[in-house]
Amino acid sequence: MVLAGKRILLIISGGIAAYKSLDLIRRLRERGATVRPIMTSGAQQFITPLAVGALAADYVFTDLFSRQDEQDVGHIRLARDCDLVLIAPATADLLAKMANGLADDLASTVLLATDRPVLAAPAMNPKMWANPATKRNIATLRGDGIRFVGPTSGEMAESKEAGTGRMAEPLEIVAAVEMRLDDGARPLAGRKAVVTSGPTYEPIDPVRYIANRSSGRQGHAIASALAALGADVTLVSGPVSIPDPMGVHVVHVERAEEMRDAVLCALPADIAVMVAAVADWRVASAADQKIKKHPGESIPTLALTENPDILKTVGHHTQRPKLVIGFAAETQDVEANAKAKLERKGADMIIANDVSPATGIMGGTRNSVKLIRHDGVEQWPDLEKDEVAARLATVIAEQFKPE
C-alpha cells in the first residue's frame, strides 16, 4: 500500500489526453492517495475544473495571481506540501518550460519551486515527441532528476496518425507513481549506468583468437548491484560462461571495437563502470581464412595494432557520464599505477587490484581491492566479488544523493 496516505500534486496540462486524468484521479484515490489538482489554462479547454475537483474532492488550483489562493495556500506551499508532483498529461510546451526554468503560470511556477520528486507522463503528437527540441528538453529534464512514464505508441486520439506520443494509461501511471514513491530503497532509480565486463576476443583468423582469463564475475556482479539499487543498467559483455544478470539489458560482443561501439551507443548515461579486461592490442589484419601450416615454410608472425581504450574514450567524451569508474588489474606497484591511470583515463575512481597469479583473483570469486579517488585511497577487506559490487554500488549511490 505504497499510496496510502500519500499526497499527490497532480498538474494537468493542455492536451486531449487530459480526459484520462479524470480516471487517473480515481485510481490514485482508490489506493488511498490524496490528489490536489492544478490545471493549466490549456487543460481547461479540454476538461473542466468542476469535473476534476469533483473527482479529487479537493479545490482545483488554476491561477498564479489569485489573491485568495495565495493567501490560503500559496504557490510555494503548494509546491512543497506533497510527496510527489505528477504531471499528466505533460505537454511538449510544459516540458519545454520546465527544461528552461520558465515560470509564467501556476503549473510552471510550482514546478520550478518544488523540491519534491517529479514524475511526468508526456502526451503529444508523435512528430512533436520526435522533434529534436523535445528530445533535448527530455534529456535535460532526465539529467535534472525528472522521471517519465510513457509516452506509448499507438493511434492518436485526434488524428489517424500513429506513433509514439500517447499518454501512458492511468494504471501504468499509478504503477510508476508507486515506484517513484518507493525510491528510498532504490537510490539509483532513474539513473542510467553502462558497465563493461569479461574479456574481449581478438580474432587472428576465423578459428583462432587472442583472449585473457577474465571471467566477467566482477563486472556482472556490479551490473547486478547497480540494478538492485534501481539503476537502468546496460551491461556490455565480452564472451563469458556465466549467465546474464537479471533485470539488466545485456549486449554481447566479442572484439574491443564492438565493445566500444556498444558502450558509446549506451550514452548518455549517468554512470560508467568499465570492468572488462579489454585486449590492449588486436591483430592488425585478421586473416579471412584459417592460417594453414605448410611444412618447411616460416612460422607466421602476428603484427598487432592498438585497440581503442574504452575507458579513456568515455572519460573524455562530450557525453561523459557524471561518474566514470575504471579498474586497474596490476601485478606490481598497484597504487602508483592506478593513480596514474585515474588521471590518464579521465576517471573519477579506480578500483585497483593485484592480479599476480598467487592472489587467484583473476577468474576467482574473491577480490581484494583499493578504491582510489583523486583525494584518497581506501583499502577494502578481502571480499567476495558480489560484496565488492554491493559496496561499490553504495559508493556510487552516495554520489547521486539528493542535496
276 binds ligand C5P per the rule CB under 6 A: yes
In whole angstroms, give the CA distance from residue 307 to residue 253. 15
- Residue span binding ligand C5P (CB under 6 A) among the ranges 15-23, 120-128, 187-195, 324-332: 324-332
311 touching ligand C5P, by CB under 6 A: yes
Has 337 been annotated as catalytic?
no
Q: Give the x/- contact pattern for ligand C5P in 177-196, rule: CB under 6 A.
A: -------------------x
In the complex with ligand C5P, the residue whose CB is nearer, 80 or 373, is 373
Which residues, 6 or more positions from 381, have their beta carbon under 8 angstroms from its beta carbon?
Answer: 368
Query: Which of 256/371 has CB closer to ligand C5P?
Result: 256
Place of cell 582510489: 372
Q: Among positive and negative, which fits the CA dihedral 237, 239, 240, 244?
A: positive
Q: Binding-site residues for CTP, please?
A: 280, 290, 308-311, 327, 341, 345
Q: Could you tell me the CA-to-CA distances from 299 to 209, 284, 294, 304 in Å, in that order?
A: 17, 17, 9, 16
* Region at 251 (left for phi over 0; alpha for psi -120 to 50; beta for the rest): beta
Please identify which residue in 215, 307, 353, 367 interacts with ligand C5P, judged by CB under 6 A.
307
User: For ligand C5P, which stretch binds (CB under 6 A), given 73-81, 109-117, 159-167, 304-312?
Assistant: 304-312
Closer by beta carbon to ligand C5P, 163 or else 308? 308
103 exposed, middle or buried (CB, 10 Å; 0-12, 13-18, 19+)? middle
CB of residue 365 to ligand C5P, shortest distance in Å: 19
* Binding-site member from 89, 315, 321, 326 for ligand C5P (CB under 6 A): 326
Instruction: Using CB under 6 A, pick the residue from 129, 148, 201, 327 that binds ligand C5P.
Output: 327
Supply the minimum distance, in Å, between the C-beta of residue 220 and ligand C5P.
14
Smallest gap from Cβ 382 to ligand C5P, in A, equals 21
Q: Is 256 among the residues that bind ligand C5P (CB under 6 A)?
A: yes
Please pick, among 100, 125, 212, 337, the residue that the annotation labels catalytic: 212
3-state helix, strand, coil in the chain (%, to 5): 35, 25, 40
Comparing C-alpha atoms, which of 399, 361, 398 is closest to residue 275?
A: 361
Does 274 engage in binding with ligand C5P (CB under 6 A)?
yes
First to last CA, the chain: 28
- Output the known binding site: 280, 290, 308-311, 327, 341, 345
CA distance 179 to 185: 10
Cα 318–Cα 188–Cα 326 angle in degrees, nearest 5: 50
* Enzyme catalytic residues: 212
Site of interaction with ligand C5P (CB under 6 A)? 196, 256, 274-276, 278, 280, 307, 309-311, 326-328, 341
